A = this chain, B = another copy of it.
Amino acid sequence: MSSRSSARWEEVHADIRRRITEGQLRPGDQVPGEFALAEEHGVSRNTVRTALTRLTQEGLITEGRGRLGRTVRAYNAVEWRLHRDQHAASSLELDDDRRPELRVSVSIEPLPAGIASRLQLTEGMMAARRVQVTLVDGLPYQLSTSWFPEDIARDTALLDTEDTRDPGEILTSIGAAQDRVEDRIAVRMPSPTDARELDLPAGTPIAEHTRTGFRAEKPLRVTVTLAPGDRTVLAYDMSG
Protein backbone atom coordinates (compact mmCIF):
# COMPACT_ATOMS: atom_id res chain seq x y z
CA MET A 1 0.00 0.00 0.00
CA SER A 2 1.46 3.32 -1.18
CA SER A 3 5.04 4.69 -1.11
CA ARG A 4 6.46 4.57 -4.63
CA SER A 5 9.94 5.27 -3.36
CA SER A 6 11.61 3.52 -0.48
CA ALA A 7 13.13 6.56 1.23
CA ARG A 8 11.64 7.19 4.62
CA TRP A 9 12.16 10.94 4.44
CA GLU A 10 9.98 10.97 1.33
CA GLU A 11 7.08 9.68 3.40
CA VAL A 12 7.44 12.59 5.79
CA HIS A 13 7.88 14.96 2.86
CA ALA A 14 4.77 13.70 1.11
CA ASP A 15 2.81 13.77 4.36
CA ILE A 16 3.50 17.43 5.08
CA ARG A 17 2.99 18.37 1.44
CA ARG A 18 -0.37 16.64 1.50
CA ARG A 19 -1.41 18.45 4.65
CA ILE A 20 -0.59 21.73 2.95
CA THR A 21 -2.22 21.07 -0.42
CA GLU A 22 -5.34 19.65 1.22
CA GLY A 23 -5.66 22.73 3.38
CA GLN A 24 -5.19 20.97 6.68
CA LEU A 25 -2.16 23.23 7.12
CA ARG A 26 -2.83 26.74 5.86
CA PRO A 27 -0.47 29.58 5.00
CA GLY A 28 0.96 31.02 8.20
CA ASP A 29 0.22 27.90 10.24
CA GLN A 30 2.95 26.35 12.29
CA VAL A 31 4.45 23.12 10.96
CA PRO A 32 4.69 20.32 13.54
CA GLY A 33 8.05 20.26 15.30
CA GLU A 34 10.91 18.05 14.26
CA PHE A 35 10.84 15.92 17.37
CA ALA A 36 7.09 15.41 17.09
CA LEU A 37 7.34 14.38 13.43
CA ALA A 38 10.21 12.03 14.22
CA GLU A 39 8.16 10.23 16.81
CA GLU A 40 5.01 10.28 14.68
CA HIS A 41 6.75 8.63 11.72
CA GLY A 42 9.09 6.48 13.76
CA VAL A 43 12.26 7.95 12.25
CA SER A 44 15.21 9.90 13.56
CA ARG A 45 15.17 13.67 13.77
CA ASN A 46 17.73 13.96 10.97
CA THR A 47 15.47 12.04 8.64
CA VAL A 48 12.68 14.46 9.42
CA ARG A 49 15.08 17.33 8.77
CA THR A 50 15.86 15.98 5.31
CA ALA A 51 12.16 16.14 4.48
CA LEU A 52 11.69 19.61 5.97
CA THR A 53 14.79 20.96 4.25
CA ARG A 54 13.41 19.81 0.90
CA LEU A 55 10.06 21.44 1.60
CA THR A 56 11.88 24.64 2.51
CA GLN A 57 13.81 24.66 -0.73
CA GLU A 58 10.64 23.93 -2.66
CA GLY A 59 9.26 27.12 -1.19
CA LEU A 60 6.44 25.49 0.77
CA ILE A 61 7.55 26.22 4.32
CA THR A 62 9.78 28.76 6.02
CA GLU A 63 12.98 28.24 7.91
CA GLY A 64 12.38 28.21 11.64
CA ARG A 65 13.74 30.54 14.24
CA GLY A 66 13.49 30.30 17.95
CA ARG A 67 10.39 29.01 19.60
CA LEU A 68 8.15 29.90 16.68
CA GLY A 69 9.32 27.05 14.51
CA ARG A 70 8.53 26.66 10.84
CA THR A 71 5.38 27.98 9.21
CA VAL A 72 3.60 27.35 5.92
CA ARG A 73 4.68 30.03 3.47
CA ALA A 74 2.13 32.54 2.30
CA TYR A 75 2.25 33.81 -1.28
CA ASN A 76 0.70 37.04 -2.34
CA ALA A 77 2.43 38.09 -5.53
CA VAL A 78 1.63 41.39 -7.13
CA GLU A 79 1.29 42.05 -10.86
CA TRP A 80 4.21 43.74 -12.54
CA ARG A 81 2.76 45.21 -15.72
CA LEU A 82 5.08 45.62 -18.67
CA HIS A 83 3.38 48.09 -20.96
CA ARG A 84 3.50 48.52 -24.67
CA ASP A 85 2.96 52.28 -24.44
CA GLN A 86 5.27 54.75 -26.11
CA HIS A 87 7.69 54.72 -23.18
CA ALA A 88 7.65 50.96 -22.65
CA ALA A 89 7.22 51.78 -18.96
CA SER A 90 6.25 49.34 -16.23
CA SER A 91 4.29 49.49 -13.01
CA LEU A 92 3.48 47.45 -9.92
CA GLU A 93 -0.21 46.87 -9.20
CA LEU A 94 -0.54 47.50 -5.48
CA ASP A 95 -3.48 47.82 -3.14
CA ASP A 96 -4.48 51.40 -2.49
CA ASP A 97 -2.90 51.50 0.93
CA ARG A 98 0.48 50.16 -0.15
CA ARG A 99 2.91 52.62 -1.60
CA PRO A 100 6.19 51.60 -3.21
CA GLU A 101 9.33 53.32 -2.02
CA LEU A 102 11.90 53.96 -4.73
CA ARG A 103 15.61 54.38 -4.15
CA VAL A 104 17.84 55.38 -7.00
CA SER A 105 21.61 55.52 -7.17
CA VAL A 106 23.78 56.41 -10.13
CA SER A 107 27.41 55.85 -11.02
CA ILE A 108 29.78 55.64 -13.96
CA GLU A 109 31.16 52.13 -14.34
CA PRO A 110 32.96 49.95 -16.86
CA LEU A 111 30.54 47.82 -18.87
CA PRO A 112 30.37 44.13 -17.95
CA ALA A 113 30.57 41.74 -20.89
CA GLY A 114 26.94 40.64 -20.98
CA ILE A 115 25.64 44.21 -20.98
CA ALA A 116 28.22 45.48 -23.48
CA SER A 117 27.17 42.99 -26.13
CA ARG A 118 23.53 44.02 -25.83
CA LEU A 119 24.47 47.67 -26.15
CA GLN A 120 26.71 46.80 -29.09
CA LEU A 121 29.61 48.37 -27.22
CA THR A 122 32.93 47.08 -25.93
CA GLU A 123 33.41 45.43 -22.56
CA GLY A 124 35.16 47.77 -20.14
CA MET A 125 33.98 50.99 -21.78
CA MET A 126 32.65 53.48 -19.25
CA ALA A 127 28.88 53.81 -19.10
CA ALA A 128 26.19 55.22 -16.83
CA ARG A 129 24.69 52.76 -14.38
CA ARG A 130 21.41 53.54 -12.69
CA VAL A 131 20.26 51.22 -9.90
CA GLN A 132 16.69 51.40 -8.70
CA VAL A 133 15.34 49.46 -5.74
CA THR A 134 11.58 49.23 -5.31
CA LEU A 135 10.50 48.53 -1.74
CA VAL A 136 6.98 47.70 -0.63
CA ASP A 137 6.36 47.67 3.11
CA GLY A 138 10.12 47.76 3.54
CA LEU A 139 10.64 44.59 1.47
CA PRO A 140 12.56 44.77 -1.82
CA TYR A 141 10.24 43.85 -4.70
CA GLN A 142 12.54 44.69 -7.57
CA LEU A 143 16.20 45.36 -8.10
CA SER A 144 16.66 47.11 -11.38
CA THR A 145 19.99 48.00 -12.97
CA SER A 146 20.00 50.16 -16.10
CA TRP A 147 22.98 50.87 -18.34
CA PHE A 148 23.23 53.79 -20.78
CA PRO A 149 26.00 54.74 -23.19
CA GLU A 150 27.79 57.70 -21.67
CA ASP A 151 27.11 60.03 -24.58
CA ILE A 152 23.38 59.55 -24.12
CA ALA A 153 23.33 59.94 -20.34
CA ARG A 154 25.72 62.87 -19.99
CA ASP A 155 24.15 65.91 -18.29
CA THR A 156 20.64 64.46 -18.41
CA ALA A 157 17.97 63.44 -15.94
CA LEU A 158 19.26 59.86 -16.30
CA LEU A 159 21.92 60.79 -13.77
CA ASP A 160 19.42 62.43 -11.42
CA THR A 161 18.78 60.25 -8.36
CA GLU A 162 15.69 62.30 -7.49
CA ASP A 163 13.97 61.38 -10.75
CA THR A 164 12.25 58.05 -10.09
CA ARG A 165 10.41 57.69 -13.37
CA ASP A 166 10.81 54.65 -15.57
CA PRO A 167 13.99 54.78 -17.68
CA GLY A 168 11.84 54.72 -20.82
CA GLU A 169 9.99 57.82 -19.73
CA ILE A 170 13.18 59.65 -18.88
CA LEU A 171 14.61 58.78 -22.29
CA THR A 172 11.53 60.25 -23.92
CA SER A 173 11.78 63.40 -21.79
CA ILE A 174 15.37 64.01 -22.90
CA GLY A 175 14.50 63.58 -26.55
CA ALA A 176 15.82 60.03 -26.96
CA ALA A 177 12.56 58.08 -27.10
CA GLN A 178 12.81 54.36 -27.85
CA ASP A 179 10.99 53.03 -30.88
CA ARG A 180 11.39 49.36 -29.95
CA VAL A 181 12.20 47.24 -26.90
CA GLU A 182 13.25 43.62 -26.62
CA ASP A 183 12.49 41.66 -23.47
CA ARG A 184 14.22 38.49 -22.28
CA ILE A 185 13.01 36.68 -19.20
CA ALA A 186 15.24 34.07 -17.61
CA VAL A 187 14.21 32.01 -14.62
CA ARG A 188 16.85 30.94 -12.14
CA MET A 189 17.75 30.43 -8.52
CA PRO A 190 19.35 33.43 -6.83
CA SER A 191 23.04 33.62 -6.05
CA PRO A 192 23.84 34.24 -2.38
CA THR A 193 24.37 37.90 -3.35
CA ASP A 194 20.94 38.13 -4.98
CA ALA A 195 19.37 36.45 -1.97
CA ARG A 196 20.96 38.92 0.41
CA GLU A 197 20.13 42.02 -1.63
CA LEU A 198 16.52 40.96 -2.18
CA ASP A 199 16.02 39.52 1.29
CA LEU A 200 14.86 36.22 -0.18
CA PRO A 201 13.63 33.29 1.89
CA ALA A 202 15.15 29.93 0.98
CA GLY A 203 13.45 28.32 -1.99
CA THR A 204 12.57 31.52 -3.83
CA PRO A 205 13.40 31.56 -7.54
CA ILE A 206 13.73 34.83 -9.40
CA ALA A 207 12.87 36.19 -12.82
CA GLU A 208 15.72 38.04 -14.49
CA HIS A 209 14.05 40.45 -16.87
CA THR A 210 16.34 42.11 -19.40
CA ARG A 211 14.91 44.95 -21.45
CA THR A 212 16.90 46.46 -24.32
CA GLY A 213 15.60 49.72 -25.77
CA PHE A 214 16.38 50.82 -29.33
CA ARG A 215 16.04 53.94 -31.41
CA ALA A 216 16.52 53.35 -35.13
CA GLU A 217 18.09 49.98 -34.24
CA LYS A 218 20.71 51.61 -32.05
CA PRO A 219 20.58 50.34 -28.44
CA LEU A 220 19.88 53.18 -26.00
CA ARG A 221 19.76 51.24 -22.78
CA VAL A 222 19.72 47.86 -21.11
CA THR A 223 17.75 47.32 -17.92
CA VAL A 224 18.15 44.12 -15.92
CA THR A 225 15.47 43.68 -13.30
CA LEU A 226 15.48 40.94 -10.68
CA ALA A 227 11.98 40.08 -9.55
CA PRO A 228 11.46 37.48 -6.79
CA GLY A 229 8.92 34.81 -7.68
CA ASP A 230 7.12 35.10 -4.36
CA ARG A 231 6.40 38.79 -4.86
CA THR A 232 5.89 39.35 -8.56
CA VAL A 233 3.93 38.01 -11.50
CA LEU A 234 4.92 39.52 -14.83
CA ALA A 235 1.99 40.73 -16.91
CA TYR A 236 2.01 41.52 -20.63
CA ASP A 237 -0.98 42.82 -22.49
CA MET A 238 -0.43 41.97 -26.14
CA SER A 239 -3.40 43.80 -27.59
CA GLY A 240 -3.48 44.75 -31.15
- Which residues of A approach B to under 8 Å, CB–CB? 17, 53, 57-59, 77, 79, 82, 84, 86, 88, 179-192, 203, 205-207, 227, 229, 232-240
- If A57-B57, A205-B229 touch, whether A185 touches B234 (CB-CB below 8 Å) is yes
Cross-chain pairs A/B with CB under 8 angstroms, 15 sampled? A17-B192, A53-B53, A59-B188, A77-B186, A86-B240, A88-B238, A179-B240, A182-B237, A183-B234, A183-B235, A184-B233, A185-B185, A185-B207, A186-B234, A205-B205
- Closest B residue by C-beta to A188: B229
Do A189 and B236 have beta carbons less than 8 Å apart?
Answer: no
Residues of B within 8 A of A192 (CB): 17
Most chain B CB within 10 A, of A79, A187, A188, A207, is at A187
> In the complex, A183→B234 CA distance in Å?
8
Residues of B within 8 A of A189 (CB): 57-59, 203, 205
Q: Separation in Å of the A198 CB from the closest CB of chain B?
A: 13
Do A238 and B183 have beta carbons less than 8 Å apart?
Answer: yes
Do B186 and A233 have beta carbons less than 8 Å apart?
Answer: yes
- Closest B residue by C-beta to A187: B229
Q: Separation in Å of the A118 CB from the closest CB of chain B?
A: 13
Do A186 and B240 have beta carbons less than 8 Å apart?
Answer: no
Residues of B within 8 A of A181 (CB): 238-239
Of B53, B58, B187, B237, which is within 8 A of A207 by CB? Answer: B187
